[in-house]
Structure 1
């Protein structure tokens, strides 16, 4: 529920991101940073858990009827209103001192992301969107509305994707190579950032063969509100099907045709 007379959901997401940034910036490159391994062998730091706990505490007070799904503490977003959280997307970067990481916050209503907030304090950037309100970002140049590119041919497209080993394990080495070969240029910006770059119009296609719901829920509403298209690698417009494809919309079907071939 939204508390009468109080901030709306996007304003609340902004406050949640501010709370997260205060924790992550204080713990970045900390000499006493505690690091553990989860069962899937991915790392988790004390900053990850501290951020998620802080956000959950605020939500428990300000949106007590909403569910929460977080990377570190679990939960569900199956029905109704749910906040989907990735306290630090890019934990490997965070613990190695690489400044490319962000806190991802999404509000999902009956399975559809309606608010997305992505805050990358060490990059000095924040991106946000709400259904019907467009996509926005702020950086050193100020706050502005963003939109996807107009590139209409894959041979002119700038692609970002993940490492080849993940494609070999979870999808197809051949389709990875086919997609890279079809595009003008490819990079691996990784994690949250390449979806944000699609929304900004800086790149045209982002494909990930393996993701978790908290990795891309915020990205889905950001990309779509920027005029692009978001789906899994089979073309279904869902953040929770285990893969992700963000494009400027003009290239989406062509990319799907390659990946489903």
Structure 2
């Protein structure tokens, strides 16, 4: 892709390739270094190792840019076994990368220099707060090392998300889906257990986009690989052509049954695609396997986290999608690590987004959830 951000795209793709190798390596290990965070969600050695590698790669290439990642360094300061496990994984993957056919001339800039550097690298991701156009730094990289850790632990769908924000706006997106076939037919539905059965060097896909230059998909690995520009399939879609992706089997934070009722109101097939991670959902929307998603939190005090959405949303927008919250407001990425100015999500083709939004709000009223509306 020719764009003003070609260099940023090349660096991010190479970093995500290394991150994918780490994730696949840990998937093959019996010990994934799983621990529970304070919010009771799981984290693995892969989450930490990938965040360290992404930080090293992006900070080396763009030292003045801010960095925001999901994981914090606190656990690494007291858990020396986890640090050594991370370092062993990184060294193993670095060795395999240096002997692969891919271009790893800049491997020393991608991989951390020592085990002692890992906590400091993770800490770099804790000091930046995403903000508006007048903030410093103006350029901020946001990443989720593994979106869908629960499904990753089961060997199911997960994604690696990297985004560049400039002035609080999505400019660049690189998303790796190591277990998703980028050539899946649009008439298929996918769920967490739908896996690309190609080998680890051939399977999966990278989706990437630069704002205003379209969304693209390519294999994760290989030289001179085919790159396909994704069509603007969401342009001109009618209500009868809506296809849903949601997470209807895992409603820890969402209003139970609301997606089914909205689907009935719109006469949309339910359940459609079903994926736990948000980044895989945005990828599926970009690929045309779906063109609509809705999420309504149980309370107005629940907010989405920036690393689950920033950049990945751009993929859908670049194929004709429109994304707002349940109140119809644009998603505001200038409020920090949480979308504190927004409540939930309504994503649909621009041509019928207003009709989907109306159905969401009407359904909430009928279901006695009007207190969630503003």
Interval containing the TM-score (normalised by the shorter chain) = 0.7 to 0.9
Report the structure, 1 or 2, having the larger strand content.
Answer: 1
Alignment of 1:148-163 (within 5 A): 148-150=233-235, 152-163=237-248
Cα deviation code 1:162-218 (max 9, x no counterpart): 237638x54x44643431212421332342222222222221201233532111112
- CA distance in 1 between counterparts of 2:71 and 2:176 reads 18
Match of 1:260 among 351, 355, 361: 361
Q: How has the CA–CA distance of structure 1 residues 12 and 233 changed in structure 2, closer, same or farther, with 3 Å as cutoff?
A: farther
- Using the TM superposition, give the Cα deviation of residue 155 of structure 1 relative to its aligned residue in structure 2, in angstroms: 4.1
- CA distance in 1 between counterparts of 2:345 and 2:226 reads 29
- Using the TM superposition, give the Cα deviation of residue 90 of structure 1 relative to its aligned residue in structure 2, in angstroms: 1.0
Alpha carbons 1:178, 1:258 under 8 Å: kept: no
- Using the TM superposition, give the Cα deviation of residue 242 of structure 1 relative to its aligned residue in structure 2, in angstroms: 5.5
- CA distance in 1 between counterparts of 2:344 and 2:164 reads 19
Larger Rg: 2
Report the counterpart of residue 207 of structure 2 in structure 1. Answer: 127
Q: How has the CA–CA distance of structure 1 residues 122 and 174 changed in structure 2, closer, same or farther, with 3 Å as cutoff?
A: closer
- CA distance in 1 between counterparts of 2:141 and 2:343 reads 18
Question: 2:350 is paired with a residue of what secondary structure?
Answer: coil
Report the counterpart of residue 93 of structure 1 in structure 2. Answer: 151
- CA distance in 1 between counterparts of 2:177 and 2:60 reads 25
5+ residue gaps in structure 1? 1-5
Deviates most, 153-162 or 235-244: 235-244
Q: How has the CA–CA distance of structure 1 residues 132 and 50 changed in structure 2, closer, same or farther, with 3 Å as cutoff?
A: same
Per the normalisation by structure 1, the TM-score is 0.87
Match of 1:196 among 283, 288, 292: 283
Computed over aligned residues only, the root mean square deviation of the Cα atoms, in angstroms, reads: 2.4
- Using the TM superposition, give the Cα deviation of residue 103 of structure 1 relative to its aligned residue in structure 2, in angstroms: 0.4
Match of 1:247 among 338, 341, 348: 348
Alpha carbons 2:11, 2:57 under 8 Å: kept: no
- CA distance in 2 between counterparts of 1:242 and 1:69 reads 22
Report the counterpart of residue 77 of structure 1 in structure 2. Answer: 130
Per the normalisation by structure 2, the TM-score is 0.62
Question: 1:126 is paired with a residue of what secondary structure?
Answer: strand
